[in-house]
Amino acid sequence: MSETDINDKKDINTLTTPEGTGPESNAPPGEKKKRRGIFQAKSIFKDLVNRFEKITKAAPSKKTFVKADKQLFIILILAFGVSAIALFCYWYLIERPYYHNLLAEKDELIKSLKFTRDKQKKIYENTLDAYEKRLTDEYVLKSIYDDKINDYEQKLASYQNDYVPKEEHQKQVAELERRLTEETLTKEHLTKEEYGQKITTLEQKVSLLEGKNLDLKTTLKESTEFIGREKESLEDMLLLERKKASIPSVILPETTNKVQNPAALKKLVTIKDKLKSIEEMNIALRPDTYFEMGLISYYNKQYDEAIEQWENAVSLNKSNLKAYICLGIVYHEEEMPDNAIKILKRAIEINPNYATLHLALARIYEQKGSLDDAIYEYSHVLEINPETIDIHNILGTLYEKKGLKEEARKSFARYEKLKGENK
C-alpha cells in the first residue's frame, strides 16, 4: 500500500466520525443518527471524487490510458453499489422506523382527537337536553297560559248566568224547608184518621194470613209425618219383596238368578219409583234403600240408574261392601274396567279380608288379560277362604296360559284331591 493510500484512508476515518463538541452533540438520538448517515454518505462521495482526481493526474502516457479507464469504471460501479447499499441501509434503519413512529403517533393523535370530539359532543348533547328539560319543566308557552285564562273567564261568565250566589241559594232552601214543614203538618192533621183505618185493615189481614199459615204448617207437618211413615214401610217392603223374588244381594255370576218373575220385578219397580218420588221431595232415604233400589234397577236393565244409586249408597255408607262389589261389576259390564278396579281396590282397603272383593277383582283382571294380577287376587281368595275348591282349577288354567306347567300341575292336582274329598 502506498503512502498516498494510507493518507487517504486516514482522511476517510477522520471524515466518518461526525461526533464533536459542537451543538450537534446535544441533539436527540434520532436526529444524531440521521445526521451521521448524511455525513457518511457525503464522505464516501468526497473520497470517490478525490480518488478519481488522483487517478487522472497520475496517468503518465497513452499506454496506461485504457487500464486507467477500466479502473475508473470499476471504481464508479463499486461507488454506485456502495452508495445504493448505504442509501438502502439508511432508509431501512433510520427513515423507515422514523416513518413508522410518525404514523403511530399520527394514529394515536387521531384517536385522542376523536375521543375528545366525542366527549365534547356528548357534553354538548347533555347540556342541550338539560336546557330543553328545564325549559319544558319550568316554562309554559304564553299562548297556552292565555288560552287557559280565557277558558276560566268564559266558565266564570257561564256560572254567573246559570247559577245563583251561595247566600241566595241558602235563603231559597230555608224558605222551601219552611213551606214543606207547614204543608206536612197540614197533611198529617188531615189524614191521621185515614192512616189509622188503613193500619186496622192491614192488621186484620195479617191475622187472617197467620191463621191460614198456621193451618198450612199443621197440614204440612202431618203430610211430612205421613210420607215419612210411608217411606219407611216402602223401604221395608222393598227389602221383603226383593227377597221373595229370590233376587240375591250380590250380582256375581254364581249367585245371580237368571230367571226372574216378571210380575214380582214389576212390583219391585213400582215400589222403587215411589221411593224415588219421595226422594225428590227432599226426604232422605236410608243408605241401604239406595242399595236395594240399585239392585232393582240393575235387574230391570237400567244400568245407568243402578250406577247412580249404588254410588249414593257408597257415599252414605262406606262400609257397605256389597255395594262396592255390585258397582265394580256393573262398571266392568259397561266397559269401564279402570273404574271397576279403582272402586274394588278402595273396598279392599276398607276390609282386606272380604274374599268376595278379591274374587270380583280377580275376574276383572282375568277378563282384562292381566294374568299376574288375577293370580295374585285368586291366591288372596284361597288365603281367606281355603274351602273354595274351584279357585284351584282356575289358577291351574291361568298358570297354563303363562307357561308355568309345574305350577299348573300342582293346582290341578290340588283341585282333584279336594274335589274327591268333598264327594
In this structure, of 4-13, 50-59, 285-294, the range with the lowest mean pLDDT score is: 4-13
Helix axes 337-350, 355-368, angle to 10 degrees: 160
Q: Which of 383, 380, 393, 300 is nearest to 345 (CA)?
A: 380
Confidence of residue 49 (pLDDT cuts 50, 70, 90): low
With a pLDDT cut of 90, the percent of the chain lying above it is: 10
From first CA to last CA, the distance across the chain in angstroms is 153
**Rounded Cα–Cα distance for residues 384 and 12 (Å):** 132
- Per residue, the 3-state secondary structure of the chain, as one string, reads CCHHHHHHHHHHHHHCCCCCCCHHHHCCHHHHHHHHHHHHHHHHHHHHHHHHHHHHHCCCCHHHHHHHHHHHHHHHHHHHHHHHHHHHHHHHHHHHHHHHHHHHHHHHHHHHHHHHHHHHHHHHHHHHHHHHHHHHHHCCCHHHHHHHHHHHHHHHHHHHHHCCCHHHHHHHHHHHHHHHHHHHHHHHHHHHHHHHHHHHHHHHHHHHHHHHHHHHHHHHHHHHHHHHHHHHHHHHHHHHHHHHCCCCCCCCCCCCCCCCCHHHHHHHHHHHHHHHHHHHCCCCCCHHHHHHHHHHHHHCCCHHHHHHHHHHHHHHCCCCHHHHHHHHHHHHHCCCHHHHHHHHHHHHHHCCCCHHHHHHHHHHHHHHCCHHHHHHHHHHHHHHCCCCCHHHHHHHHHHHHHCCHHHHHHHHHHHHHHHHHCC
**Span of 127-131, 146-150, 194-198, 340-344 with lowest mean pLDDT:** 194-198
pLDDT tens profile 238-269? 788 888 877 887 887 776 655 467 888 888 88
138: pLDDT confidence band, cut at 50, 70 and 90? confident
Which burial class, exposed, middle or buried, applies to 378 when counting CB atoms under 10 A from its CB (0-12, 13-18, 19+)?
buried
Domain spans in the chain, listed from the N-terminal domain onward = 3-132, 225-421
Inter-residue contact 315 to 343 (CB < 8 Å): no
Q: Is pLDDT larger for residue 84 or for residue 146?
A: 84
Lowest mean pLDDT, pick from 224-228, 283-287, 334-338, 374-378: 224-228
Residue pLDDT, tens place only, 388-404: 888 888 888 888 888 88
Q: Which residue has the higher pLDDT, 347 or 29?
A: 347
pLDDT: which is higher, 204 or 19: 204
pTM of the predicted structure, to 2 decimals: 0.48
- Would the pLDDT of 176 be above 80? no
Exposure string for 184-193, b = 16+ CB within 10 A, e = fewer: eeeeeeeeee
What pLDDT does 349 receive?
Answer: 92
Tell me the H-state helices in 58-95. 65-90
* pLDDT class of 131 with cuts at 50, 70, 90: confident
Task: Give the model's pLDDT for residue 8.
Answer: 44
Tens digits of residue pLDDT in 61-102: 444 444 567 778 888 888 888 888 888 888 888 888 888 888
CB 321 within 8 A of CB 347: yes
What's the DSSP call for residue 24? G
Give 225-421's CATH code, choosing from 1.20.1540.10, 3.30.1020.10, 1.25.40.10, 3.40.50.300.
Answer: 1.25.40.10
